[in-house]
Every structure is written in C-alpha cells, then in structure tokens.
Amino acid sequence: MVTDAFAWDAFTRRDRRYDGQFIGAVKTTGIYCKPSCPARHPLRQNVEFFATAAEARAAGYRACLRCRPDDVSRDERAVLAAIAAIKAAGQPLVLAALAEETGYSPSHFQRVFTRHTGLSPAAYARALMAERAAQALSNEGSVTEAIYAAGYSAPSRFYEGNQRRLGMAPSAWANGGKGAVIHWSVVDTSLGAMLVAATAKGVCRLSFNEGREALEARFPQAELSEGGAAFADLLGQVIAAVETPGDFGHIPLDVKGTAFQEAVWRELQRIPKGETRTYAELAAAVGKPRAVRAAGSANGANNVAVLIPCHRVIRTGGGLGGYAYGLEIKRKLLEKEAK
C-alpha cells in the first residue's frame, strides 16, 4: 500500500496512472472513488485510503457512480490478457484485434493499456522483442539467428527499431562493445572521484570510486579513449549537474535495460529535485505496487548515478535504504538537493 500522503497527492491531481493502485473513500458521503475521479475533492480529513475496492466495501463504502472504480479490475484483466497474447505471439499484434478480445474500442483500449504499462501495445511488443534480442545477443552465436529468434521478420527490422534504443551497434551486445568508442574520464568532485563515460549517443556510465577497470569489465571489446575535446563539453555538463543539482534532462544518456527497468528509470527522472519517494511508491508509480523488491533491483541496476536519480528513493519510514556507492554519498546528494 502506498502512503496516505502519496495517495492524497495523486488524488488531488486526478492522476490516472494510479487507478487500480488504491481507492479513496469519503467518510461524509460513504462513497469510494478511483484517483482520477472528476468529482469535486472533499476535505483531506474526510478521506481515507484502501488498497482495493473490496476493502473499501468491507468498511461500508459504496462505489462512485461517476468514476465507477470497480471497472478498474476489468481494465487490469484486459491488460493482462493482452500482454499474454503479445508474449505468445512474440511480435506486435493489431490493435483492433487486441481490443476486440477485451471488449473495448481500439482507442479506449490503447489508453487503458498505456495507463497501466506506460507503453502502447505496439511499443510494449517492440520493447519485449528488443529485450529478447539483447538477451540472445549476450550469448555466443550468430547475431542474425538471435534477431530471428527474438521475433523480428528480418535483421533490417531489428536495426531500424533499435538504433536509438540500444545506442551501440547490435553486434556490440554479443561482443562486449566491439566496434564502439567510449570516451571516459575520472574527475574529483565534492562527492569523491567520479567516473564519467560516454558513447557517441550519450553518457553510458556515471559512478563513484571506479576507474577504467570498471569499463573494461562492462565493455571488454570496446575502444576506450580517455578524455577528448568533444567529450570535454559533455563532461563539464555532467560535473555541473552533480555539483549543482537541478534539471538533468538536457544531458543525453546511452542506457539499456528491460522494459520494467526502463519504466522505473523514467519514474526516477520524474522525481523533482529536493523530493524523495519510497520503494513502494516507486513500484506503484510504474503500475506494479506489489513489485517493491523488483523496483528496488531496477533502481540498483541504474548505470548512470545522479543523472537517473536513484538516490531519491528511500525506505518507508525515512531510512536511507541502500546505495551502490555508499550511504554517505547518498546523504550528501540529498542534502545538496534539499538546499
């Protein structure tokens, strides 16, 4: 269950992303609503929150006739059925066919699916295929065979669909970065020695108390080039972002992960400077409130510290939780941003 403060904030914003994640019940009317309910908001002291509609009914509340919160469970079932169909097919399916299976119109089902997963059905299928291809390419063997095994109709379709997402050439996944040039540098900051590395696409590694050996372990076949005039400008932007926390959105990134990990990373980037979220709130934000441990793992899999601000996630109750580079650095980052 998300915290009451987080739930009330989503409730006042009528945030559709959290429909199905919790229920708001109004004591003075005896009605329960989903977060996106368009009705006028009651006073905060008159609202309590429940994890499910069933819990609200058990407490004596009845469903709102305006937002129909009980329909959320139907939406969830429809999304799960569509995901199962996409996984079974191994490739994108026609939107109209998915909608027909669930009893929704194509346009409404597209909105429902996107609200629950953060991706359209087609984008979800493409992300799933790319994830399968990346996993296959991590093993020895033919790149072409891996592409076909992932569900692509031809190698050209894989290259077209993943050029931006993957950053390096697909063969680099199979060969430890072979063919990629990675510029890097270690600089002193107020947080300690910081490693910054970037491909032509953007920053692929930002960490503390690491050096060249960390890059060699991740990209053993890449060409590692220390410094460089073109890299200097990007490095300056990164240093400024770390020393004076603010908006990191202008700094290009070259990161990869599973569809779930990338959804978590997007939510991390949405956390405003000076604010924090709990692991439970992070899981709820990506539409997986029960996946708290998985959200924590995705948080820890972040390869570009600070720029994807995983340090802004703490334990329920206020404890700092973990941090790959030590709690002292995490504490300093949060203190910088609080100012």
Kindly name the residue from 33, 37, 64, 67 that is annotated as catalytic.
33
Query: Catalytic annotation on 64?
Result: no
Q: How far apart are CA 107 and CA 10, in angstroms?
A: 24
> Angle between the 259-270 and 121-137 helix axes, to the nearest 10 degrees?
120
The answer to whether the beta carbons of residues 194 and 228 sit under 8 Å apart is: no
Kindly name the residue from 37, 67, 204, 310 that is annotated as catalytic.
310
The answer to whether the beta carbons of residues 144 and 155 sit under 8 Å apart is: yes
Helix (H) or strand (E) holding 132: helix 121-137
130 φ/ψ angles, rounded to the nearest 5 degrees: -65, -40
Report in angstroms the alpha-carbon separations of 205 from 32, 210, 298: 46, 10, 16
Query: Catalytic annotation on 33?
Result: yes
Residue 56 CB contacts under 8 Å (≥ 6 apart), including other chains: 23, 25, 32, 50
Q: How far apart are CA 331 and CA 229, in angstroms?
A: 33
Q: Which two tokens stand for residue 75?
A: 């939406």
Burial of 233 (0-12, 13-18, 19+ CB in 10 A): exposed
Q: How do the residues of the chain divide into helix, strand and coil, expressed in percent and rounded to 5?
A: 50, 15, 35
CB atoms within 10 A of CB 10: 24
**Can you name the residues that pair with 314 across neighbouring β-strands?**
278
- Please count the CA atoms within 13 angstroms of the CA of 286 that sit on its side-chain side: 27
Q: How far apart are CA 191 and CA 34, in angstroms?
A: 43
Tell me the catalytic residues.
Answer: 33, 310
